[in-house]
Structure 1
Amino acid sequence: MRGLIRYLLKNYAFLLFLLLEVFSFILIFNFNSYQKAQYLNSSNKVTGTVYNTYNAIRHYFSLASVNRKLAGENAMLKSLISDLPYVKVTPYSVIMKAEVTDSVYRFVSARVINNSVDKQNNYITLNKGRKHGIKPDQGIINSDGIVGVITTVSESYSLGFSVLNQRWGASAKLKKSGTFGPLSWDGKDSRFASLTGIPFHVELATGDTVVTSSYSSAFPEGIMIGTVHSLEKPAGENYYSIDVMLSVNFRALSYVEVVENLKRNEIKALESKKEDDPDNQ
């Protein structure tokens, strides 16, 4: 203990200098927007690089599982391409025109380099970013179903909400009846989500398939979400309480596809004009 005190007394000038330097940097980053922005951009880049390196090592030791996953992704894309009249392949993506909805979608393959599942609000980090065409509000899917949505991008990486995030929900529908409702996560079990807004008069049974509806601009219609695991008719209510078993295993994510609806801006612009129309107020 005396040795530590002697060391501190001997080097107090240098230690005081370091303390003042740290305090100065804190003041600079907190009260100067430019320096703060530069720091945050650098921090995001470093964090993405660290995640990427760690995931690359882990990825090397799980090649067999990853290869099976890639085979599933390729099968999904091939099945989509076979039904579409227009396909264009680029180094980073596949652009395709959906025959039914007449919407153009662009798919970019990405690797999951970080993923949380045990928090109330879980996120996914991908190794693709702005330079690959990734933008906020694009959907994330894999061969098993929907995964989440992009929220933030940097030049080479992107961050998104997963389905396991209480701040985000998806527009879902029952495949059999077409009845739609919002899907959300209650923050408890990573295997299940809740579907609401389905009235009692709709015929419903466990095992029924739940897919994305046509009301989401982030996903093509009909992407798998899961199956009805359990349902109840709460007393005094008009809508089912439905637990959906998610088709995606969020504890084993490796590769995903980021989906861009190339007509999204046109749709949003049209809808904003309707909101601004005084006749629709």
Structure 2
Amino acid sequence: MRSLLRFLARNYFFLLFLLLEAVSIGLIVNYNNFQRVRFFNSSNSVTASIYEKFNAITSFFALQKTNAELADENARLRTQLEQYKQVFIPLDSMNIAEGKEEQELQTPDTTLRQFDFIPAKVVNNSFIKQYNYITINKGSNDGVAVDMGIIGPGGVVGIVTSVSKNYATGPTILNKRWSVSAKIKNSNYFGTLAWDGIDPHVARLNEIPFHVKMEVGDTIVTSGFSDVFPEGVPVGIIEKFDHASGRNFFDISVRLLTNFANLSYVEIAKNNHLEELIDLQKMNTNE
């Protein structure tokens, strides 16, 4: 208490000045319309600016949650789509009886679904090196295993080669040691798509015969001839192609659909038939 009194005694004139200043401002604002409008406009501007900064911060954290929820939903929908792709209902197999208004459609069998998809967040990703890798925040505890494909919003990203309990890592398509089987959409002609280590936006599609018809802008998708990715996952679009003399194949440049500089969430493709396929392939090699 004595300290407070000593403080007031020492700063009496300064505190009195502040009090009178506040009273003066109040009188001016209350009895002068122009000054009152200017005062409230200024205070509203400051308040709005503070609220804007606060909302930006809260929106940032809310956006992270929203993105995670969207990643979960995309994985669920991709799994569901893969399930329905396994079911084909020809028209003549439907029970079309005269006068019957409703048809009994076949319900997809979950045992037929070859791939499930696990959503994950990217925690590390390189794209300016010759051998680029990605790390995600899902591991063996989440069902992730080696040789599972990684798919982003644009399409193919890479493959899992190392797994811990809570994380997984592997090369991306921007890695000169890794390639993926791909084909021209709506075509049975497939080849090997690989990166040449030059442009992080462009890869090369090899082994496409020169008699195959194609156009710039055609979509390149996974062929489905591997255990890693389902058929039809987007990879890129044809940017240009030419036929070098003396060669039987096109030289095709493919602009990748995945933006590796802005990759936050991915999905892991889990092949439910992998063990069965491996066992079957082992039988062929033993013959």
Q: Which residue of 1 aligns with 2:187?
A: 177
Aligned length: 207
Checking the alignment, whether the CA contact within 8 Å between 2:75 and 2:118 is kept in structure 1 is: no
Inter-partner Cα distance in structure 2 for 1:208 and 1:76 = 26
Which residue of 112, 124, 132 maps to 1:122? Answer: 132
Q: For 2:275, what is the secondary structure of its paired residue?
A: helix
1:236 aligns with 2:235: no
In 1: Cα distance, 2:261 partner to 2:136 partner? 15
Q: Which residue of 1 aligns with 2:54?
A: none
Q: TM-score, normalised by structure 1?
A: 0.67
Q: 1:83 to 1:161 in 2, by over 3 A?
A: closer
Contact 1:192 1:244 in 2 (8 A): yes
Matching residue within 127, 130, 147 for 1:137? 147
Aligned position for 1:81 = 80
Cα distance in 2, alignment partners of residues 61 and 162 from structure 1: 28
Alignment-mate amino acid for residue 274 of structure 1: N
CA deviation digits over 1:186-243, x for unaligned, max 9?
0111111110010011001110110001201111100010100010101110000001
Match of 2:32 in 1: none
Q: Scaled by the length of structure 2, what TM-score is found?
A: 0.66
Structure with greater strand share of residues:
1
Partner of 1:164: 174
In structure 2, give the amino acid aligned to 1:210. I
Shift of 1:84: 3.0
Selected match of 1:110 from 100, 109, 120: 120
The 8 Å contact of residues 83 and 112 in structure 2, kept in 1 or not, is answered as: no
Give 1:143 shift. Answer: 2.4
User: What are the superposed Cα offsets for residues 48-67 of structure 1, whole Å, 9 maximum, x if unpaired?
Assistant: xxxxxxxxxxxx95864884
Distance 2:172 2:122 in 1: 12
Contact between 2:116 and 2:271, CA under 8 Å: does it hold in 1? yes
Q: Which residue of structure 1 lines up, in the alignment, with residue 92 of structure 2? A: none
C-alpha contact 1:219 1:259 (8 A) present in aligned 2 = yes
Q: Distance in 1 between matches of 2:144 and 2:79?
A: 21
1:222 and 2:232 aligned:
yes
**2: CA distance, partners of 1:187 / 1:159:** 20
What are the superposed Cα offsets for residues 107-159 of structure 1, whole Å, 9 maximum, x if unpaired? 11110000000111100001111111111100000221011000001111111
Where structure 1 has 5 or more consecutive residues not aligned to the other structure, the ranges are 1-59, 87-96
Could you tell me how far apart the structure 2 residues matched to 1:137 and 1:196 are?
23
Q: Secondary structure at the match of 2:262?
A: coil
Query: Relative to structure 2, which stretch is displaced further, 77-86 or 186-195?
Result: 77-86
Which ranges of structure 2 fall in alignment gaps of 5 or more residues? 1-58, 86-106
Structure 2 SS opposite 1:187: coil
Partner of 2:212: 202
Query: For residue 276 of structure 1, what is the amino acid of its counterpart?
Result: N
Alignment root-mean-square deviation, CA:
2.7
